[in-house]
Chains A and B, each alone.
Chain A
Amino acid sequence: MIHINITDLWLSNYLCLLDVLAASQNNSNSGWETKAVEFFQDQLKERDTHTLVPSLNDVPLHYLKPNSLVKFRCLIQDMFDPEFYMGVYETVDPSTKTKMLRCGKYKDVTECGVDFNSRNTVTAERQTFYCVPIPGENPWVKEISSSCLTEARVVPSTSYAPSRQKRSYEEDDDMDTQPQKQREPHAGPHSPSEHHGNGDCKRQETEAPSSQTASASHLDLNFPLPGEKGPSCLVKVYEDWDRFKLNDTLEVYGILSVSPALSALADEKDASSSLLDPAESMETAEEQRVHSPPASLVPRLHMLHAKPLPHNNPLLPSIPVLDKESTLTVVILSSTLSEMASVREEILSYFTHVLLGDALAAEYLILHLISNVYSRRDVLPLGKFTLNLSGCPTVASYTERFYQIIQQLVPSSHYLAMSLQNMNQMRLVPKKDYVANRLVSGALQLARNTSLFLDETQLEQGQLDTTGVRNVTALGNLISWQKVDYDFNYHQMEFPCNINVLIASEGRSLLPSDCQIHLQPQVAPSHLEESLSSIHMHPQASSQLNKFRIYLSMARLLDYSISDEVTKSVEDDFVDMRKDDPQSISAEDLHRMLVVARLLSLSLGQTSLSRDSWLRAKHIEMLRRSRMEQHKCVNGNEP
């Protein structure tokens, strides 16, 4: 009897894995499991096999076969307590009294007839992570990554045929000695649709699993951002869980488990009297709901392998660029590097158009979009580049349109309107709920390199209440230190983050920023409306867009260094500038100029700072500063 049913036909090249699994089922000491996992990981590395695995992000849950291999692109939202499970246990057949050793790994529910007194029981430990889809992931990312997948599925004989799926599902049930399971109401509200929809499954399967979230409304799935959709998942981790951190983005490969028995637990809870069963009374109803939600809504995923994602741009290979040995990366690198300068020109002109003809602001926008906290020196995050774009027109919902354009270019982003109401009511900082024993998410729990667009033009005069003040403080901390202090009620805990914050405001923002630039539209106010409406009209071929998308993600991943020679000249420059006018440049200005120079070099595809880039960085900084002073004189009330 095969226990781990990753026997799908399209996974035929993994059959040897299964053989290993099945053959050594009764011999727990043979180390079959490490071998199998290793084999599996090798397979993933070698070829593009990972595209064959269906993704939980794209395929609705009810199309996936229980106990099959799936992948999930996600963010670790919360970490639950480690749990002990029966790694190996013995079952006794009630009729024949034969004993059999079984493996409990990668499973939620044991076979029936467990012998609790067996001396062969091995208790093992695993960790549960609550994972949600990457917050703020933009629609184009979802589209592209799911289309990659369907292409892969068309490969003959590995294609995923839903009509087959049903039959195998039944087979599964036949094998199951617990027919009750099937009749369990929690087989999910989707089972009928599965039967009806067999014919048009092919068409539906790429759709987002929206039907699930509809029925999930009563259950808070704890997404960091409001209005998010998609499945969340309880990922069971079997080894090395210490290497994962909260808010890490991963691609998890694992075995899907949607056993209805898991949800039965939650239902029964309400009815059973806890007095007689004290072991079960230690969890409150809320906690139960959170930690064992119905499997049809929050499936369990038993991790075989996890790949940390350095970015979530589906257009780039997900292999870390640092891994220089991978030939694929080198090819892409060299070809893109040479192109980068030209793409930069295109994107610059595009942004100039978007920013109403302001080329300097467009330049800074590029730098901002490729910025990244690449290191931390004691408390100081290096490489962050928060941009404050002041002087945004308030007409014709310019900021919103502007955000839509950014949304088209970066893999994940979030628009936060800083209206008084939002600031006073929104939960930005995640907070620990001790009753339900979970971390209630907030809008600032974001994956690395998410673009956070703060629209300050929405802010009007009025009173900020306690929550509002706290939220503004949290945003300030985020910008200055790239960290968020999560609220644990009795204490606060600091979580470092790496979020690109862009503040659009009318005057100077009330939040701190690394760099402020005042927008100077080259369009006459009378034509503003017209010009604005043309922005969106601008036909951008999707190939063009893709080029931009690759460019922005690529530039961020490049290595960077400064040679001793250039160091020297930078130092000389600084000393000279100070000599002329000590007020003109402070240590902070030098900090900023070094960041600007870094980002400028990277945006040009150069991996080390050249004299030219330094001068260019100095030049644009000077332009920006002179513009600021000019603006100061006009306004008078600028600090």
Chain B
Amino acid sequence: MSCFDQPPILHVQPNEVDMSSPLMYGTPSSRVEGTPRSGVRGTPARQRPDLGSVRKAPQVDLHSDTDGAVASEPNAGQRLVIWGTDVNVGTCKEKFQRFLQRFTDPNSTEDENAGLDLNEPLYMQKLEEISVVGDPVLNVNCRHVQSFDAELYRQLICYPQEVIPTFDMAVNELFFERFPDSILEYQIQVRPYNALKTRNMRSLNPEDIDQLITISGMVIRTSQLIPEMQEGFFQCQVCAYSTRVEVDRGRIAEPAVCRNCNNTHSLALVHNRSVFSDKQMIKVQESPEDMPAGQTPHTTVVYAHNDLVDKVQPGDRVNITGIYRAVPMRVNPRQNNVKSVYKTHIDAIHFRKTDEKRLHGLDEEAEQKLFTEDRVQTLKELAAKPDVYERLSSALAPSIYEHEDIKKGILLQLFGGTRKDFSQTGRGNFRAEVNILLCGDPGTSKSQLLQYVYNLVPRGQYTSGKGSSAVGLTAYVMKDPETRQLVLQTGALVLSDNGICCIDEFDKMSDNTRSVLHEVMEQQTLSIAKAGIICQLNARTAVLAAANPVESQWNPKKTTIENIQLPHTLLSRFDLIFLMLDPQDEAYDRRLAHHLVSLYYQSEEQMEEEFLDMAVLKDYIAYARTYISPRLSEEASQALIEAYVDMRKIGSGRGMVSAYPRQLESLIRLAEAHAKVRFSEKVESIDVEEAKRLHREALKQSATDPRTGFVDISILTTGMSATARKRKEEVAQALKKLIQAKGKTPAMKYQQLLDDLRGQSETAITKELFDEALRALADEDYLTVTGKTVRLLA
């Protein structure tokens, strides 16, 4: 912008003409000459290309029009405004100064305000900070402006190009009044952010042009730094007379005639005495969450100027506050013909990264989904219903029939436990996420459940054990082909931080890949040491995995471990392990058939009536996850203790351990999740009851010893039931006796030995059992097996 092509101010008080009119702001003259006010003197103003790099149009012929309009204004003295707006510079400045001096926000939760006294005027403290630190940027939350003075806010949104310079003046006056001695590199610039008109990119329309907007999105590309000439320095080749020409709407007009010697075309541009400012083009794409289904994301061009350059990197999620611009495109400079399309971009004034702290801590800001009051009311009403738990669980994947307990388990997983921090006592974070493993026959809609969950949660990831490698799950280091920079690319587990990672075909995963999960599923972190990058990433993800039995059908005669062949170390990290088996009873079959048939002929509306809307469920979960963090009540802790003691007791009668602290932790998590379902801040005994019930149900399915029919937790914790272990030892001893009885034969036939043992034993000896016994004896260094011969060792 320049003062020459636009006379925006019709009237200002005479003593302010020089320094306070926005049209003078940032022009070279003011920069060179300084300002008349004592404190501001000597501190150069810095140009703000973000505000004025592109003026829409010079309103040359309108001068006369406006004159008339203003003359007709009755009380012209006070009502004079910047042309084209209703902004009166004096009032505006005054209002803003009042805002700075008076505004307090006692309930502020913004991290930027940490350490400030919330009962004192907020922005005065920030000015003080500026005087100490010397970083002349004042970020102003538009929401604060709005709550303080709605009119001022409206003006700021509608005429940012005029209002922000006014704010700058106001703040500088105030600042140098307060801190006359401070030395700043240049004058303070006001950077408003969080314009309440926050929109997603899709809703931007021509009405927003030249207004202050805040949009959110993801940076997809940044250009290299573009030096943009703000002022050209020309020198006459003949008489060495020099002149400066300012940029005017993106162009610098080369002076044709030297004003000193009147030679034509004698002026040459001197590059290194011209003034440039930094500029960078940034492409921002809509966040995937904002997009309607079936459309591609929109992108917007953002220009960052001066110190905002290189503030963001591709992949960052940002909130951008800036001025929306549209510039007509010229088809050809030689032609006057114009392509009737405008190019649009945003001049960035303020960036705010939304995922900045993703690697360090909980990102409250991003999680915070805005709920309208109506919505909150609906959700609360729903929560107050006594059967909310059942309602929600039946709303989960309605196309999948029954499996009520599994759905309830997954529901609790969606809500998760309460995050607790014990880092002060040295144990670090307790896992709050519930991990669930589903195993069962192929074709029991496990994958469908996983797909459903993946579609339901905002940060869900879906991978298949077959297709994923350890690298794909964790993170890998990539060299950016352009910048040769090493970039850490995160994999599924890190991406689903604070979400759910659905892993299908868990059993088909390579051991290498699976080993990564050990750390994630208990410590909730991921350590990476690759290509010189050593780091620990958060992966606070809940794992929902599905596994098929090794023999294509589930063998009820075998334990869970034997059926799915997963290491028990991993299995014990699942809070709930469910079997999805076909219950074989007639009533079930009938209900199932009815369900399926109706799936095929009912219209969609009919189905929707029956169940809760998926959107409501989504909001319900999001609300509970954000706002509810239940704590254990006295009564509930007692109940939990009892439950744990009971669990231990069951086993102790038979000389087995039937519960470990891990199970207690699971119970706590489940109880907390259940309290969340009820929107309750307190975990009560009903929550514990349900947690106990669900845990028991899951155990009954997965940890029942097929030989004895008892629930035996050691199947999951050690991979073998206590009876099986006992049996193995017995057989090994019997075999040893048998061999000893044979006398001094150094070698025996394998088959012969097996037959002998079978003949001797009262119980059936399977080949596997025999092999295991042999292995046990081999471990004792008693014998070795080579092919079909068994040799005794000395």
Contacts and interface: CB of A to CB of B under 8 A. Distances in A.
Contact of B597 (A89, A278, A380, A570): A570
Interface string B630-655: 00000000000000000000000000
Given A382-B599, A570-B593, A109 B339 contact: yes
A575 B252 CA distance: 85
A81 interface: yes
Interface in B587-627: 589-590, 592-594, 596-601, 604, 607, 614
A444 to B, nearest CB: 15
A117 B596 CA distance: 66
A436 to B, nearest CB: 11
A103 to B, nearest CB: 10
Contacts of B329: 265, 279-280
Contacts of B448: 379-380
B701 to A, nearest CB: 18
Interface string A67-110: 00000000000110111111001000000000000001001111
Interface in B201-250: 205-206, 209, 218, 220-221, 226, 228-229, 250
| Chain B interface SS verdict (over half) | mixed
Given A107-B340, A246-B295, A437-B299, A586 B326 contact: no
Interface residues of B, number: 90
B263 interface: no
B326 to A, nearest CB: 5
Contacts of B397: 378-379
A242 B343 CA distance: 21
Nearest to A589: B443
A379 B452 contact: yes
Nearest to A588: B443
A264 interface: yes
Contacts of A124: 206
Specify which of B299, B336, B340 lies most central, judged by the most chain A CB atoms within 10 Å of its CB.
B340
Interface string A264-280: 11001000100111111
A382 B597 CA distance: 12
Contacts of A634: none
Contacts of B328: 86, 114, 116
A578 interface: yes
B593 A575 contact: yes
Interface string A427-445: 0000010110101000000
B444 interface: yes
Interface stretch (B53-61, B87-95, B176-184, B761-769): B53-61
Contact of A109 (B251, B331, B333): B331
B339 A562 contact: no
A281 B228 CA distance: 11
B354 interface: no
A594 B60 contact: no
B464 interface: yes
A83 B601 contact: no
B604 A375 contact: yes
Interface string B433-446: 00000000101110
Specify which of B327, B338, B455 lies most central, judged by the most chain A CB atoms within 10 Å of its CB.
B338
Contacts of B332: 261, 264-265, 268
B148 to A, nearest CB: 33
Given A281-B281, A379-B448, A598 B220 contact: no
B297 interface: yes
Contacts of A272: 333
Given A280-B329, A493-B288, 19 more contacts: A109-B331, A117-B62, A125-B205, A246-B295, A264-B332, A265-B331, A278-B226, A379-B399, A434-B283, A469-B467, A490-B218, A496-B294, A567-B597, A574-B590, A574-B592, A578-B584, A586-B443, A591-B596, A598-B600
Interface of B: 53-54, 57-62, 205-206, 209, 218, 220-221, 226, 228-229, 250-252, 279, 281, 283, 288, 291-301, 303, 314-315, 326-333, 335-345, 397-399, 401, 441, 443-445, 447-448, 451-452, 455, 464, 467, 552, 582, 584, 586, 589-590, 592-594, 596-601, 604, 607, 614
27 contacts: A78-B296, A79-B295, A82-B298, A83-B341, A84-B344, A109-B331, A109-B337, A109-B339, A112-B335, A114-B338, A116-B328, A123-B209, A261-B337, A279-B343, A378-B399, A378-B455, A378-B614, A379-B455, A473-B464, A493-B291, A495-B294, A574-B593, A578-B584, A578-B586, A578-B589, A586-B443, A588-B443
Interface of A: 78-79, 81-86, 89, 104, 107-114, 116-117, 123-125, 178, 180, 242, 245-247, 261-262, 264-265, 268, 272, 275-282, 375, 377-380, 382, 432, 434-435, 437, 439, 469-470, 473, 480-481, 488-491, 493, 495-496, 560-562, 567, 570-571, 574-575, 578-579, 582, 586-588, 590-591, 594-595, 598, 639
